[in-house]
């Protein structure tokens, strides 16, 4: 709240103060009109893209290709049969990473994307808003010390599996349609670097974002991908709610 007292006997000062007040208020209002995510928009989203052509592969491998080509940490929370198997021509002669992401998600129904702590998340708006979605589950205290990213991933899996809520009656086998190996846990290069991670009251999504963001420095960039269809995001399974998938070659050892 901004309070200004005007001196009626000095009209010049009054006018000056009025202009300053209006200027300050316009600045505040302009700041309110900006989307909260704008201030955190990663610079990578403005990186130039020229001559992108995905050769009409499905959405999920297209997103993994974008992550690898442009070194973008990514999480894919919504995985449908169409996203895994339907041809999706994506061509961008000239634009930005943000334009490319818009083009990708616009071609399938009920898909959207956003950035979260520097990680691009591809999701379904209805699933994102669903409190029973386990990616929305909050972990009061997530902490690993001098541990590998595989250790962090395993801890998170165990916390989700032990969370109260519906349970699947049968294991969900890993979906191999992406055509890439390295299902979580156990990506070898993630054992190369030990890290400390401490997050309070963070969602499962936010913790996965942290793991993915650190994976590049650990020597193996990975993306996290939902391992179940959207309608089963509220059911932890022995097959895993998500998996980690490499999006580039491991860094050479020195």
Assign 200 to helix, strand or coil.
Answer: strand
> Is residue 227 in a domain?
yes
> Is residue 239 in a domain?
yes
- Locus of tokens 């599996």: 161
The boundaries of the domain holding residue 83 are: 42-246
- Reply yes or no on whether the pLDDT at 151 is more than 50: yes
- The angle that helices 149-161 and 204-215 make with each other, rounded to 10 degrees, is 170
> Is residue 17 in a domain?
no
Q: Mean pLDDT in the chain?
A: 78
> Is residue 29 in a domain?
no
> Is residue 168 in a domain?
yes
Q: What angle do CA 16, 19, 22 make, to 5 degrees?
A: 150
How many domains, the chain? 1
> Is residue 20 in a domain?
no
CATH number at residue 221: 3.55.50.60
Tell me: the pLDDT tens digits for 160-191? 988 876 544 344 444 433 323 334 556 777 88
List Cβ neighbours of 121 (8 Å cut-off, separation of 6 or more).
Answer: 74, 75, 77, 113, 114, 115, 205, 209
The DSSP secondary-structure symbol of 190 reads G
List Cβ neighbours of 176 (8 Å cut-off, separation of 6 or more).
Answer: none
Q: What is the pTM of this model?
A: 0.76
Cβ distance 57 to 88 under 8 Å? yes
């Amino acid at each position: 709240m901004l309070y200004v007292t005007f001196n009626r006997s000095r009209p010049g000062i009054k006018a000056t103060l009025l202009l300053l007040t209006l200027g300050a208020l316009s600045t505040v209002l302009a700041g309110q009109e900006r989307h909260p995510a704008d201030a955190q928009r990663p610079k990578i989203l403005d990186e130039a893209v020229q001559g992108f052509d995905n050769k009409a592969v499905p959405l999920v491998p297209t997103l993994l290709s974008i992550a690898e080509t442009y070194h973008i940490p990514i999480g894919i929370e919504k995985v449908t049969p169409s996203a895994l198997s339907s041809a999706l021509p994506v061509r961008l002669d000239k634009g930005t990473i943000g334009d490319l992401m818009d083009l990708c998600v616009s071609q399938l129904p009920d898909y959207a994307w956003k950035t979260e702590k520097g990680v691009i998340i591809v999701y379904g708006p209805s699933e994102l808003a669903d409190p029973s979605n386990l990616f929305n589950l909050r972990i009061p205290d997530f902490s690993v010390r001098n541990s590998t990213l595989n250790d962090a991933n395993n801890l998170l899996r165990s916390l989700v599996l032990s969370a109260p809520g519906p349970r699947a009656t049968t294991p969900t086998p890993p979906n191999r349609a992406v055509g890439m190996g390295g299902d979580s846990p156990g990506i070898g290069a993630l054992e190369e670097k030990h890290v400390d991670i401490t997050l309070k009251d963070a969602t499962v999504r936010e913790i996965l974002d942290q793991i993915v963001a650190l994976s590049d420095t650990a020597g193996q960039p990975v993306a996290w991908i939902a391992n179940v269809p959207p309608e089963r995001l509220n059911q932890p399974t022995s097959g895993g709610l998500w998996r980690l998938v490499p999006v580039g070659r491991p860094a050479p050892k020195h």
